[in-house]
Structure 1
Amino acid sequence: MTELHEYTALELHQLLQRRDVSPVEVARHYLDRIERLDGAIGAFATVTPDAAINRARFVEEHVATAAPLWGMPLADKDLHRRAGVPTRLGSRAFADFVPDESDELVRAVDDAGAVSLGKSATPEFGLPSYTEGLAGPPTRNPWDPSLGAGGSSGGAAAAVASGMLPFAPGSDGGGSIRIPAAACGLVGLKPSRGRVPAGPGLASLAGLGVVGPIARNVADAALLLDGIIAPTGYPAAHRFAVRAPGDDGPYLGAAIRGEGRFQLGVVTDTPWDDAYEITIAPEAHAALERAISAFDALGHGVEAIAPAPEPGYPAAFRTIWQAGAATIDVDGEAEALLEPLTRWLMLRGRSLPARQLAEALAWLAGFEERVIRRFAAFDAVLTPALALTPPPVGRYDQEDGERNFAQQVQVTPFTSFVNVAGLPAITVPVDETAGGVPMGVQLIGRPGGEATLFALAAQLERRVRRGHRHPPNW
Structure 2
Amino acid sequence: MAELHELSALEQWSALQRRQVGVVELTEHYLARIEAQNPGVGAFVTVTADAARERARFVETEVAPEVPLWGLPFADKDLQLRAGVPTHFGSRLMEGFVPDRSDELVQALDDAGGVSLGKTATPEFGLPSYTETLAGPPARNPWNRDLGAGGSSGGAAVAVAARLLPFSPGSDGGGSVRIPAAACGLVGLKPSRGRIPAASGIDKLAGLPVAGPLARTVADAALLFDAMVTPRGGHPDHHFALRAPGEEGPFLASAIRGEGRFQLGVMTTSAWDDAYDIAISVEARQALAIAADALAGLGHGLQEAALVSDASYAPAFRTIWQAGAAGIPAEGDDQEQLLEPLTRWLLYRGRELSARQLAEALSALALYERSFIEQLSRFDAVLTPALALTPRPIGWYDAVDGERNFAQQVQYTPFTSMVNVSGLPAIVLPIHQTDDGLPMGVQLIGRPGGEHTLLALGAQLEQHFQWQNRVPPLA
TM-score (norm 1): 0.98
> Which residue in 1 is equivalent to 2:361?
360
- Supply the distance in 2 between the matched residues of 1:240 and 1:256 (Cα, whole angstroms): 31
Residues 251-266 of structure 1 mapped to structure 2, 5 A cutoff: 251-266=251-266
- Supply the distance in 2 between the matched residues of 1:384 and 1:408 (Cα, whole angstroms): 15
User: How has the CA–CA distance of structure 1 residues 270 and 465 changed in structure 2, closer, same or farther, with 3 Å as cutoff?
Assistant: same
Residues 126-205 of structure 1 mapped to structure 2, 5 A cutoff: 126-205=126-205
Quick check: 1:234–1:248 contact (8 Å CA) kept in 2?
no
Quick check: 2:68–2:232 contact (8 Å CA) kept in 1?
no
User: How has the CA–CA distance of structure 1 residues 69 and 316 changed in structure 2, closer, same or farther, with 3 Å as cutoff?
Assistant: same
Q: Which amino acid counterpart does residue 7 of structure 2 have in structure 1?
A: Y
- Supply the distance in 2 between the matched residues of 1:130 and 1:207 (Cα, whole angstroms): 21
Quick check: 2:143–2:474 contact (8 Å CA) kept in 1?
no
Quick check: 1:163–1:470 contact (8 Å CA) kept in 2?
no
> Which residue in 2 is equivalent to 1:310?
310
Deviation at 1:431, TM superposition (A): 0.6
- Determine whether 1:9 maps to 2:9: yes
Q: Which amino acid counterpart does residue 3 of structure 2 have in structure 1?
A: E
Deviation at 1:276, TM superposition (A): 1.1
Deviation at 1:215, TM superposition (A): 0.1
Q: Structure 1: where are the runs of 5+ without partners?
A: none
- Supply the distance in 1 between the matched residues of 2:23 and 2:52 (Cα, whole angstroms): 10
Q: Which amino acid counterpart does residue 279 of structure 1 have in structure 2?
A: A
- Supply the distance in 1 between the matched residues of 2:119 and 2:412 (Cα, whole angstroms): 26
> Which residue in 2 is equivalent to 1:410?
411
> Which residue in 2 is equivalent to 1:447?
448
Q: Which is further off, 233-242 or 113-122?
A: 233-242
- Supply the distance in 2 between the matched residues of 1:306 and 1:347 (Cα, whole angstroms): 36
Question: CA-to-partner distance for each residue in 1:129-183, whole Å, 9 max, x for gaps?
Answer: 0000000001000011110000000000000000000000000000000000000
> Which residue in 2 is equivalent to 1:398?
399
> Which residue in 2 is equivalent to 1:215?
215
Q: Which amino acid counterpart does residue 160 of structure 1 have in structure 2?
A: V
- Determine whether 1:41 maps to 2:41: yes
User: How has the CA–CA distance of structure 1 residues 2 and 233 changed in structure 2, closer, same or farther, with 3 Å as cutoff?
Assistant: closer
- Supply the distance in 2 between the matched residues of 1:232 and 1:176 (Cα, whole angstroms): 26
User: How has the CA–CA distance of structure 1 residues 218 and 403 changed in structure 2, closer, same or farther, with 3 Å as cutoff?
Assistant: same
Partner SS, residue 70 of structure 2: coil
- Determine whether 1:230 maps to 2:230: yes
- Supply the distance in 2 between the matched residues of 1:136 and 1:468 (Cα, whole angstroms): 31
Question: CA-to-partner distance for each residue in 1:91-114, whole Å, 9 max, x for gaps?
Answer: 000011000000001000000000
Partner SS, residue 195 of structure 1: coil
Partner SS, residue 468 of structure 2: coil
> Which residue in 1 is equivalent to 2:373?
372
Deviation at 1:243, TM superposition (A): 4.6
- Supply the distance in 2 between the matched residues of 1:436 and 1:327 (Cα, whole angstroms): 41
> Which residue in 1 is equivalent to 2:269?
269
- Supply the distance in 1 between the matched residues of 2:135 and 2:343 (Cα, whole angstroms): 13
Quick check: 2:194–2:244 contact (8 Å CA) kept in 1?
no
Quick check: 1:121–1:154 contact (8 Å CA) kept in 2?
yes
Q: Which amino acid counterpart does residue 390 of structure 2 have in structure 1?
A: T
> Which residue in 2 is equivalent to 1:29?
29
User: How has the CA–CA distance of structure 1 residues 224 and 11 changed in structure 2, closer, same or farther, with 3 Å as cutoff?
Assistant: same
Question: CA-to-partner distance for each residue in 1:38-73, whole Å, 9 max, x for gaps?
Answer: 111000010010000000001011100001100000
Q: Which amino acid counterpart does residue 87 of structure 2 have in structure 1?
A: T
Q: Percent identity?
A: 64
Question: CA-to-partner distance for each residue in 1:269-320, whole Å, 9 max, x for gaps?
Answer: 1111111110000000000000000000011000001341111111000000
- Supply the distance in 1 between the matched residues of 2:245 and 2:106 (Cα, whole angstroms): 27
Deviation at 1:267, TM superposition (A): 1.1
Quick check: 1:197–1:241 contact (8 Å CA) kept in 2?
no
> Which residue in 2 is equivalent to 1:102?
102
Question: CA-to-partner distance for each residue in 1:228-265, whole Å, 9 max, x for gaps?
Answer: 122264542213453534x2211000000000000001
Partner SS, residue 337 of structure 2: helix
- Supply the distance in 2 between the matched residues of 1:209 and 1:234 (Cα, whole angstroms): 25
Number of residue pairs matched by the alignment: 473
Q: Which amino acid counterpart does residue 206 of structure 1 have in structure 2?
A: A
User: How has the CA–CA distance of structure 1 residues 143 and 56 changed in structure 2, closer, same or farther, with 3 Å as cutoff?
Assistant: same
Quick check: 1:266–1:304 contact (8 Å CA) kept in 2?
yes
Deviation at 1:37, TM superposition (A): 0.5
Partner SS, residue 231 of structure 2: helix
RMSD between superposed Cα atoms in Å: 1.0
Q: Which amino acid counterpart does residue 338 of structure 1 have in structure 2?
A: L
TM-score (norm 2): 0.98
> Which residue in 2 is equivalent to 1:295?
295
Quick check: 2:192–2:244 contact (8 Å CA) kept in 1?
no
> Which residue in 1 is equivalent to 2:117?
117
> Which residue in 2 is equivalent to 1:87?
87
Question: CA-to-partner distance for each residue in 1:376-403, whole Å, 9 max, x for gaps?
Answer: 1000011000000000011001011111
Deviation at 1:472, TM superposition (A): 2.6
- Supply the distance in 2 between the matched residues of 1:86 and 1:364 (Cα, whole angstroms): 35
User: How has the CA–CA distance of structure 1 residues 350 and 435 changed in structure 2, closer, same or farther, with 3 Å as cutoff?
Assistant: same
- Supply the distance in 1 between the matched residues of 2:11 and 2:104 (Cα, whole angstroms): 27
- Supply the distance in 2 between the matched residues of 1:435 and 1:96 (Cα, whole angstroms): 41
Partner SS, residue 105 of structure 2: helix
Partner SS, residue 50 of structure 1: helix
Q: Which amino acid counterpart does residue 418 of structure 1 have in structure 2?
A: V
- Determine whether 1:464 maps to 2:465: yes
Q: Which amino acid counterpart does residue 147 of structure 1 have in structure 2?
A: L
Partner SS, residue 198 of structure 2: coil
Question: CA-to-partner distance for each residue in 1:389-429, whole Å, 9 max, x for gaps?
Answer: 00001100101111111101100000000000000000001
- Supply the distance in 2 between the matched residues of 1:69 and 1:243 (Cα, whole angstroms): 23
Partner SS, residue 304 of structure 1: strand
- Supply the distance in 2 between the matched residues of 1:162 and 1:206 (Cα, whole angstroms): 34
Q: Which amino acid counterpart does residue 198 of structure 2 have in structure 1?
A: A
- Determine whether 1:242 maps to 2:243: yes
